[in-house]
Amino acid sequence: MPVNATGVSFSSFGISYHKDNSFRGTIRGKNDEVVKCSMGERSIRFNVNKFSGGILETVSRQSTKDIHGWVSDERTVYPSRVINQEIDNCCLQKNAKISSEERKMVFSLVSKEFELTLDVKAAQSSINHIIIGNASFGKKMDALCDGMSRAVKNSTTDYIANVLADKFYQKHIAPGVDIVKLRNEIPGYMSRVIQG
C-alpha cells in the first residue's frame, strides 16, 4: 500500500491488522490484536494490548495527575491534535494555507458533528510522546527503516505511532469515537469551511 505521509512518498510500505488466533492465545482465552508493518522484506509486529498496557503503566508512573484525570484530558487533547495534524498535512500536500479563523471553523464543525469537546490550541498528546519514547518501539522502527533516509524514517515512525495511538484512544479513552473516520474526514471539513 503506497503511503504519502507528510509529503514523503514510499511504495514498499504495508500495514495490516489482525487478531492473533494462535494456539497459545486460544488456550489462554486471549485474542490479541496485532499491527504488522512491513517495508520491503522487513517486518515488525506490535501486540496492541501489550503496547496499550505499557502506555497506561507509563502514565501511572510519570503523570502528575491520576489516571482518570489524564484520560479526561486526552479525551479533548488527542482528537484536537489529530485535527490539527490532518489540517497541517492537507495544507502541506496541497501547498495551501488556512487562516486561524478557518481552522476554528473546522474545529467547530467537527465538535458539533462528533459531539466532542475540542481545543484548537492542542497540538501535543502525551499518547504519541509515550509511544515514540518507548525503547521497544524505537528499536523496531530502527530495524524496519534501517538504511533509509531520515525523512522516510521520520514519516514511517509518525505514521505507525499514529496508528497505535488511534487504537489506544479508541480502546482506552473514547471507545465511542471513530478516530480513524475523524482523521479521514478532515479534508472534507476543510473544503466545507473554505467553500463557505
Confidence (pTM): 0.84
3-state secondary structure 6-55: CCEEECCEEEEEEEECCHHHHHHCCCEEEEEEEECCEEEEEEHHHHHHHH
Q: Which three cell numbers stand for residue 42?
A: 522487513
Domains and their CATH numbers in the chain: 3-195 (1.10.4120.20)
Averaged pLDDT, 153-160: 92
Query: How confident is the prediction for the chain on average, in pLDDT?
Result: 87
> What pLDDT digit, counting tens, does each position of 13-59 carry?
676 666 665 555 555 556 678 888 888 888 899 999 999 999 999 99
The answer, yes or no, to whether residue 6 has pLDDT greater than 50, is: no
Q: What pLDDT score was predicted for residue 148?
A: 87
The string of DSSP codes covering 98-127 is --HHHHHHHHHHHHHHHT----TT----HH
> What pLDDT digit, counting tens, does each position of 59-87 carry?
999 877 789 999 999 999 999 999 999 99
Q: What pLDDT score was predicted for residue 27?
A: 54
